[in-house]
């Protein structure tokens, strides 16, 4: 059995679970997910996602959880984040390392270690999906997502500045005067600036809870993520898994906005 204890925020967990699912499939063994409810993500899995038959899952509320400790002690191999980083190339485990792994592995990581082909494991609950639908039903015919990451993400703050986002959004308007924006940000001051700069063009979950240490805050994060994924293109923040996953979910173009200007690249997804 492959046991994954995904760490970090929502999108880091999504990517590491997807990776563990791929590893389990390659090994031909079941997957077990230990979902830690902690300050950075304090919400049970089933309050965000519908159940899946692709893996079994336990919510745990302490690093001293008896189930967690038992699975750690009985696994034939234990891997942490450093082990993953040292034994992958890009987002793929090196083949020799993969072959060296037994069929019983306990993994603690926030890293992606296999490419993500789809996100079928992660279907929002009916209640969360209803809220997502409420926003996407208001989307314009051309909708661009804007994700501005702030708080503790020093890389995003330093690289993807507010002025650069304004320039990027102005470029979108120049290309299509009818464009509208769905904004997801963890900083209300950023939203105020953009609403003043682009009156009447911004849609957001204005009543969202920003802190991730509650069910309400995590469900609001889900709404933002899936609404971003429903846009035509994303203007996103540097070094942000939230930007990356939102674009990958529907294989839409993403733009990483940088202080030096408007950096544009399209994801290298195969044609479907």
Give domain status of residue 117, yes or no.
no
For the chain, helix, strand, coil in percent to 5 are: 40, 20, 40
Average pLDDT over residues 191-200: 96
Backbone angles phi, psi at 182, to 5 degrees: -100, 120
pLDDT digits (tens, 9 = 90+) for 238-253: 888 999 999 999 999 9
pTM (global) more than 0.85: yes
Compute the mean pLDDT over every residue in the chain, rounded to the nearest whole number: 91
Q: What is the CATH number of the domain that holds 242?
A: 3.40.50.11350
Contact 85, 110 (CB under 8 A): no
Average pLDDT over residues 166-195: 95
How much is the pLDDT for 259? 44
How much is the pLDDT for 210? 83
Residue 149's CB: how many other CB atoms inside 10 A? 24
pLDDT digits (tens, 9 = 90+) for 228-238: 999 999 999 98
User: Which 3 state secondary structure label does DSSP give 252?
Assistant: coil
pLDDT grade for 270, boundaries at 50, 70 and 90: very low
Give domain status of residue 102, yes or no.
yes
Using DSSP bridges, classify how beta strands 56-60 and 77-79 pair: parallel, antiparallel or unpaired.
unpaired
- The reply to whether 195 and 96 lie within a common domain is no
pLDDT digits (tens, 9 = 90+) for 19-75: 999 999 999 999 999 999 999 999 999 999 999 999 999 999 999 999 999 999 999
Please state, in angstroms and rounded to a whole number, the distance separating the CA atoms of residues 24 and 30.
6
- The reply to whether 244 and 143 lie within a common domain is yes
- The reply to whether 171 and 252 lie within a common domain is yes
- The reply to whether 154 and 252 lie within a common domain is yes
Q: Is the pLDDT score of 101 beyond 80?
A: yes
Contact 121, 17 (CB under 8 A): yes
Residue 76's CB: how many other CB atoms inside 10 A? 11
Give domain status of residue 118, yes or no.
no
Backbone angles phi, psi at 53, to 5 degrees: -90, 0
Give domain status of residue 41, yes or no.
yes
Average pLDDT over residues 8-29: 97
How much is the pLDDT for 118? 87
Contact 202, 166 (CB under 8 A): no
DSSP 47: G
Contact 129, 32 (CB under 8 A): no
* Location of structure tokens 């996407």: 136
- The reply to whether 213 and 142 lie within a common domain is yes
Please state, in angstroms and rounded to a whole number, the distance separating the CA atoms of residues 71 and 214.
27
- The reply to whether 261 and 131 lie within a common domain is yes
pLDDT grade for 153, boundaries at 50, 70 and 90: very low
Of 66-70, 81-85, 152-156, least confident by mean pLDDT is 152-156
Contact 227, 219 (CB under 8 A): no
- The reply to whether 191 and 96 lie within a common domain is no
Give domain status of residue 38, yes or no.
yes
**148 pairs with which residues across the strands?**
185
Backbone angles phi, psi at 271, to 5 degrees: -65, 140
pLDDT grade for 159, boundaries at 50, 70 and 90: low
Domain that holds residue 186: 126-265
**93 pairs with which residues across the strands?**
88
Contact 147, 228 (CB under 8 A): yes
pLDDT grade for 158, boundaries at 50, 70 and 90: low
pLDDT grade for 150, boundaries at 50, 70 and 90: confident
Contact 42, 144 (CB under 8 A): no
Q: Is the pLDDT score of 206 beyond 70?
A: yes
How much is the pLDDT for 265? 40
How much is the pLDDT for 272? 26
Q: Is 251 left (phi over 0), alpha (psi -120 to 50) or beta?
A: left
How much is the pLDDT for 47? 98
CA atoms within 13 A on the CB side of 16: 27
Number of domains in the chain: 2
């Amino acid at each position: 059995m492959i046991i994954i204890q995904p760490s970090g925020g929502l999108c880091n967990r999504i990517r590491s679970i997807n990776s563990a699912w791929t590893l389990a499939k390659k090994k031909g063994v079941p997957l077990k997910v230990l979902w830690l409810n902690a300050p950075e993500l304090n919400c049970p899995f089933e309050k965000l996602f519908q159940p899946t038959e692709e893996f079994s899952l336990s919510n745990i509320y302490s690093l001293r959880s008896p189930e967690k400790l038992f699975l750690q002690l009985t696994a034939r191999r234990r891997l942490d984040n450093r082990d993953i980083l040292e034994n992958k190339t890009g987002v793929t485990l090196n083949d020799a390392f993969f072959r060296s792994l037994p069929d019983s592995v306990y993994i603690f990581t926030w890293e992606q270690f296999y490419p993500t082909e789809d996100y079928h494991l992660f279907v929002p609950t009916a209640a969360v999906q209803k809220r997502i639908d409420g926003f996407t039903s208001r989307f314009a015919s051309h909708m661009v997502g804007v994700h501005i990451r702030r708080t503790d993400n020093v890389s995003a703050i330093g690289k993807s500045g507010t002025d650069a986002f304004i320039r990027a959004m102005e470029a979108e308007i120049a290309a299509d005067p009818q464009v509208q924006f769905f904004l997801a940000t963890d900083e209300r001051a950023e939203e105020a600036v953009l609403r003043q700069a682009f009156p009447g063009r911004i849609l957001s979950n204005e009543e969202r809870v920003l802190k991730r240490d509650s069910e309400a805050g995590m469900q609001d994060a889900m709404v933002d993520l899936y609404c971003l994924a429903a846009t035509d293109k994303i203007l996103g923040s540097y070094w942000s898994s939230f930007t990356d996953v939102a674009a990958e979910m529907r294989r839409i173009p993403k733009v990483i906005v940088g202080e030096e200007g408007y950096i544009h690249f399209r994801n290298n997804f195969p044609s479907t």
